[in-house]
Amino acid sequence: MEDLNQVGQRTFDRELRMTTASRTIIVHVRPGDFFKVISDYERYPEILPEIEAAKVLNRQDKRVEARFTINLIKRVEYTLAMVESSPEQLSWSLVEGPFKKNSGSWILEGLPDGTTRARYTVDLRVGVFVPKALSNRIIGKTLPDLLQHFKASAEAEFGDK
C-alpha cells in the first residue's frame, strides 16, 4: 500500500498568487525520531537536494530562527522562525525573504505499530518578484519529494531499531 500520499490536498489562487497544501505520510519510525530529523535544520542540505544551505541563526528554548537558501528555478534565500513542540509538532512562519508568506507545520502522531503519521501543511504566498512557476513547482513537485526525502532519511537513521 502506498503511504506517501494517503491524504493530500492543494489549492492555488491565481490572483493572490498563493498556494496551500497539506499531505500526510506514514513514516516507519517513532514520532520522536522523526522529529529529530525534521528539526535538524542544518542537515537539510543533506536531506533535500534543492536546499543549498541552512544555518541556525538563533535558538532559545523551543524557538529557532534559521536561514535557508534554495535553488529551484532561481536561487532564493529566506529566514523562518520555528516553534518546536517535540515530539508532536513543528511549526514555522516567515521572518524575511522574497515570499509574502511562508508558514506551515508538521503534526506527528504515534501509531500503535510504532510508526508515525506525519501531516505536513504549508501556506506559501509568493511576491511579485518570485515567478509563479516557482510556487507551482514547490507545491506540485517539490512537496511530494520533500516528504519522501524526510521519510527516507528518518527510516535510514532510525528504522528497525
Domain of residue 46: give its range.
Answer: 7-158
Domains contained in the chain, number: 1
pLDDT at 127: 65
Is the residue at 76 inside a domain?
yes
Long-range contacts of 134-138 (CB under 8 A, 24+ apart): 134/72, 134/73, 134/74, 134/76, 135/12, 135/17, 135/19, 136/12, 136/19, 137/72, 137/73, 138/19, 138/72
Quick check: pTM over 0.85? no
Is the residue at 2 inside a domain?
no
Query: Is 148 within 8 Å of 156 (Cβ atoms)?
Result: no
Is the residue at 21 inside a domain?
yes
- As a whole number of angstroms, the distance between CA 24 and CA 6 comes to 6
Is the residue at 27 inside a domain?
yes
pLDDT at 12: 41
**Over the chain (161 residues), what is each successive 10-residue block's mean pLDDT?**
42 51 95 98 96 97 96 87 97 93 96 97 75 62 86 94 54
Is the residue at 111 inside a domain?
yes
